[in-house]
Chain A
């Protein structure tokens, strides 16, 4: 399992559109990708769960990637966060 922390720079946080894109990205991999903030966590392939986290600008999320393709998934998901959130 690989994890990284990321502080959201998107003004509105993880709202509908970036969440949708994240789901699309996360679905590419076999790995289970989990986004957590505080004690709440969400499977990155579940749009509703992601949005329910209510992540706002400036909050730091922990993202964990676990599975057989975790190295590539990890890199790409991290990149995704940097570019979109």
Chain B
């Protein structure tokens, strides 16, 4: 169970990589754009002239800011789609569409509930957000993730569903968006009741922060980080930044409320001598974390990635680390380890709290527009001068944080073998061990028997199209399966029709098989079949060959064209091969034949032929009969261990001998006492598919008496 959860988390984490890849770019646009369009910043540095509203530079920066912001504003829906794509097994594009629909439906439902209950006023500030134009609950990427996961689960369950003919148009993949939309109406209504409760709980933590000094600052930092994945941090920190909860201060004769407002008011006030730490304690902690700590973590992840993967993850980690350092946008980096290694994120949260606390203790008074990157530190710390901000402590603490994060992440990743980027093993070509193959086979077996019916149809279609190698591509419209083949001559229309098609149209390489509305299901099955066939073929070839052999004997065999007799090489008792106390022989792994329990000490040639080999330990002889059969005479079981003791060879390798020529003399007494068993398999090791061993006798047998025959069938 634990492994399963972990496996799912890992897949979720990987499916995040797609939307995360855009974040560094968006972050830079947003970070640079918004910092240099901030009116207070521009006024303070006298940049109004060149960058103020109305200038071209300002226009460019505003566009940058908006272009970057839109990505972050819509992160929830991007995650909904990304997770659905990542988690869906097949037909991923359908999952993406369904996730988009479900996301809208959920938020629209929440929005409707809010309107109906008229609760917009009474809700906490930061609790309501504009989600893609819908006034809904602020659920952050968490809202996207529950949509993505739920849709993927529904998709995997239903994408091959079949309905009665009348409704069959809505079957298969078309059903997925339908069911998702319905389910997420309910989820939306449910969330309307659940989420505000959660939000209120978070809000209550704010009191703890206010009433407990340095410790409170630590709690603030911890909570803020901890809530990011759930989008709940807005509910938590916004009150501190924007309301009296974050303190109030009289600046230039005006009463200012909220930490961020206080900072910017002080920034604009030329009389400020030192920034109020009581306000900046809700902000400054981000700097050492984002400029120093997280890049240290990124370096650790890079160093611990597999050598061959470093190049690949290096790009991602470097850009994510740069984004964090410059703009203070940390999601790209945090999401790379949040889901694959929640423990690391937990530790990260603790240190985030500590960073805030340390900044508070050292009286650092650096504020920010929205996050703690180098741009903000430069504008609001360095440019303000150390005398007003004490910003130097950011660097001092930061350097320690860099080392701390690097060492801690490296140690934990290696020690616990956490699957941070470039350390996962799924994508690799795995060396299969026996047990893996067996488990897989069993799993596949269940799967196969479940889908046996579908597979038969798919298999017949593939055959009708001239085999898998002949299929170029497969698609479908409302009623037809549209396939393109490489060689039109290999298509067998009758076979295709036999799969339940109402018609088959062929124009050159294009083949259309008309099934009616249920075609989407047939197409999905066919694609599954085509995708899995290659592997299954390899894994099951063994079984397939065995089955084929059986089939060729029992169904497809023609007349017996030849019968080759093999005579007992020794006097004794003939027994069925399956009674041999060695699974390699009993399981026919070594070949087909009959075993003899010797009662006499001379092993003779079972036919005219050549001695192919005699083992050094003399317990086994290979023999090629003139009639073309390869025989293995294995005297006793585990007799290899006797090292030749009890055996005496009478012929030489390569010698041509006639039937009945003594080949080996046995010390039966010795063998009976020392060998695991004296039962001796006489086997045909290399039978062709049209050759079959037919035992002739069980019970006592004389040397030279016919033991079994090999029937050679006509190949049909």
Contact = CB atoms under 8 A, between A and B. Distances in A.
Interface of A: 12-13, 15-17, 20-21, 23-24, 27-29, 46-48, 51-52, 54, 56, 69, 71-72, 75-76, 79
Contacts of B545: 27
B624 A27 contact: no
A72 B616 CA distance: 34
A37 to B, nearest CB: 13
A13 B617 CA distance: 11
6 A-B pairs closest in CB distance: A47-B685, A20-B590, A48-B630, A52-B613, A48-B622, A17-B584
Contact of B541 (A15, A20, A28, A75): A28
B316 interface: no
15 contacts: A15-B615, A17-B584, A20-B589, A23-B685, A28-B538, A46-B686, A47-B590, A47-B686, A48-B613, A48-B632, A48-B685, A52-B622, A72-B538, A75-B431, A79-B432
Contact of B622 (A51, A69, A75): A51
B296 interface: no
A40 to B, nearest CB: 11
B431 A79 contact: yes
A16 B640 contact: yes
A47 B640 contact: no
B357 to A, nearest CB: 53
Contacts of B634: 16
Contacts of B582: 17
Interface string B570-589: 00000000000010100001
B640 A12 contact: yes
A33 B266 CA distance: 80
Nearest to A75: B431
Contacts of A17: 582, 584, 590
Contacts, number: 76
Contacts of B615: 15-16, 51, 54
Contacts of B433: 79
B349 interface: no
Given A13-B616, A15-B617, A76-B432, 19 more contacts: A12-B640, A16-B615, A16-B634, A17-B584, A17-B590, A20-B591, A21-B584, A24-B542, A29-B541, A46-B686, A47-B685, A47-B686, A48-B613, A48-B630, A48-B632, A48-B686, A51-B615, A54-B613, A54-B616
A78 B548 CA distance: 28
B429 interface: yes
Contacts of B640: 12, 15-16
B612 interface: yes
Contacts of A16: 584, 590, 615, 620, 632, 634, 640
A13 B620 CA distance: 13
Nearest to A52: B613
A28 B542 contact: yes
A52 B541 CA distance: 27
A12 B643 CA distance: 9
A69 B624 CA distance: 31
Contacts of A79: 431-433
Contacts of A52: 612-613, 622
Contact of A75 (B429, B613, B632): B429
A47 B591 contact: yes
A8 B686 CA distance: 24
Nearest to B623: A48
A23 B622 CA distance: 16
A16 B632 CA distance: 9
Nearest to A20: B590
B632 A76 contact: no
Contacts of B431: 75-76, 79
Contacts of A46: 630, 685-686
A50 to B, nearest CB: 9
Nearest to A45: B686
Contacts of A72: 429, 538
B337 to A, nearest CB: 31
A17 to B, nearest CB: 5
A7 to B, nearest CB: 18
A62 B591 CA distance: 25
A48 B432 contact: no
B616 A56 contact: yes
Interface centre among A16, A23, A76 (most CB of B within 10 A): A16
